[in-house]
Structure 1
């Protein structure tokens, strides 16, 4: 039984709670990361701290008897190598994208998640898409193109990281679902393995990135105040990084692709407003049009998926829930994973 279901909630209540938890933590995480990166330009070190704090918190819940953490096993770790590789790369490019673009433009820079999702669904899983789905991808691409080309001072490097982030995000859903098999479909076990192994994989990166010299310079210039600033930024981003990581795994394993897409669209709108009110971002006409087209394409995709499901045709989207993988039999078993 999943962690959410242990609270005694109905399936509907569990989905609402999971989606709400994901949206709140994701929005707060973007704000916290942007603040931390404006304070300290050490993205890889902050990510490393997030992984470390997540592992410590998970082990603490195990010691307190609240949650049961698994012992790391070599065969399971080997099976999760694709997930760890994509997770580390994805976290890195997400953060680097946020370094170079404004919060309100982040939605546009990472706007190609849906087209890449459909491409990988066909290339990796052999799942064709309907004309309506392809049309929604075209609308999303138009939104991305409009948003990027309308900006005079947009960082090309930030856009590049956004595109790579779209690719890793698209692959992440497939890899997470396949990786759940290695941990007996336990989202919590997968969260622990993901954080612990990502922490190990990221350790050499922070030294190779040269960020240790940046930290040393700041400590030398600011003294104890610089040390406190680093600890505070690392702790805050670590806490919310842990929460959004957990929330993301919970939503992907608990909800359908349609719900996942809707929550992402709503989060995109709120994220844009957040950038405007909290960080003073400019919302240009081109940027607004790009966001509207990207969200409109997502809405069209949602409509297309609902139409396919209601017409009893075989779904052509990437499996993201156990019932999608196992078919009708799995649909009757949802909640038992």
Structure 2
């Protein structure tokens, strides 16, 4: 599901960057793996929700299925990690009710973030998706000040202003504008920002282990999302209107999308481990640009001059913000 914000939807926490020397081949392979996983999630989700013969416009059901796939993979990889060094990064699955109760608020935010993200992707063009989701930077600054009581530097605020300007210009110039899609994108941006803040407040419950947090977060998210799917009426509509439930290709596509979402975690961990923070930042920004260009080619999305300028501003502002925060981190 994505701009760099979408990786955060799957990545439980920004890990500590390690700046060690690695071969160019290793670095290239890690970045390529990250790009493939990230781009696959966006385009596969778009294909499932509204872009193929299998038009399945049920975002909460899609989100639930993908979470179940992720949980199965976590359990399997945790089991394999006991016997193989290849999977040793994933600890055995655990679920302590006392810890789960404290992590529950984070999981509620996670569910809303993923559901609104998929809804936004269903309702807007992929080219506009970057713009609709760009306000996570603005809300991150807002919540950092109101919740964590931390101020933001002037250059970072300027970058945020450029992103907001890109959001306004891109929205006004969007050829296939959707208010509901825009609202879903803004809502998803709000919960992306809240998720990052709550992760920082929750990690100590699992000894700062990202994979352990992912265990609890995925399991709790399924528990929270299941009643929403049942009471939303989507199951009844699916049984009445969807004729391809017995089609193997549809379920294969759904499963592959869930696997790609899970692989984002691994690809982000590897990119953080084997590259520098600057490389990680440049990779994410460049991937967002390529994502927009690919959407123009594959989906033939109409882009007005104003819409294109708004997309450029939101990408430029997001990249500038990442660069500013990277330089600030270096100075610290």
Q: Is TM > 0.5 for Structure 1 vs Structure 2?
A: yes
Q: Partners of 2:180 and 2:173 in 1: how far apart?
A: 16
Counterpart contact for 1:261–1:298, Cα < 8 Å:
no
Any gaps of 5 or more consecutive residues in structure 2?
1-17
Distance 1:254 1:95, change over 3 A: farther
Cα distance, 1:11–1:79 mapped onto 2, change above 3 Å: farther
Q: Does 1:59 align with 2:75?
A: yes
What residue number does 1:213 align with?
Answer: 236
Partners of 2:245 and 2:292 lie apart in 1 by: 36
Tell me which residue corresponds to 2:6.
none
* Alpha-carbon shift at residue 290 of structure 1 (Å): 0.9
Match of 1:6 in 2: none
Residue 25, structure 1, aligned to residue 37, structure 2: yes
The residue number in structure 2 matching 1:41 is 57
C-alpha deviation, 1:284, in angstroms: 2.3
Partner of 2:215: 192
TM-aligned CA deviation for residue 218 of structure 1: 3.9
Q: Is the 8 A contact 1:46 1:237 kept in 2?
A: no
1:263 & 1:255 partners in 2: Cα distance? 10
The 5 A counterparts of 1:1-337 are: 11=20, 13=22, 20-38=32-50, 39=54, 40-64=56-80, 65=82, 66=87, 67-218=90-241, 221-222=243-244, 224-225=246-247, 228-247=248-267, 261-309=281-329, 312=331
Deviations for 1:282-302, whole angstroms, at most 9, x for unmatched residues? 232122211211122223324
CA displacement at 1:215 relative to structure 2:
2.1
1:251 positional shift: 6.5
Q: Deviations over 1:43-85 (max 9, x none)?
A: 1111111111111122122333344323200111012112201
Q: What do residues 24-51 of structure 1 show as CA deviations (whole Å, max 9, x unaligned)?
A: 3111100100011122112111111111
- Contact 1:146/1:290 (CA < 8 Å) preserved in 2? yes
Taking the aligned partners of 2:217 and 2:274, their CA distance within structure 1 comes to: 18
Unaligned runs of 5+ in 1: 1-8, 315-337
Task: Quote the RMSD (CA, aligned, Å).
Answer: 2.8
Query: TM-score, normalised to structure 1's length?
Result: 0.80
* TM-score (structure 2 length as normaliser): 0.81
Deviation at 1:241, TM superposition (A): 2.0
State the distance in 2 between where 1:249 and 1:309 align: 19
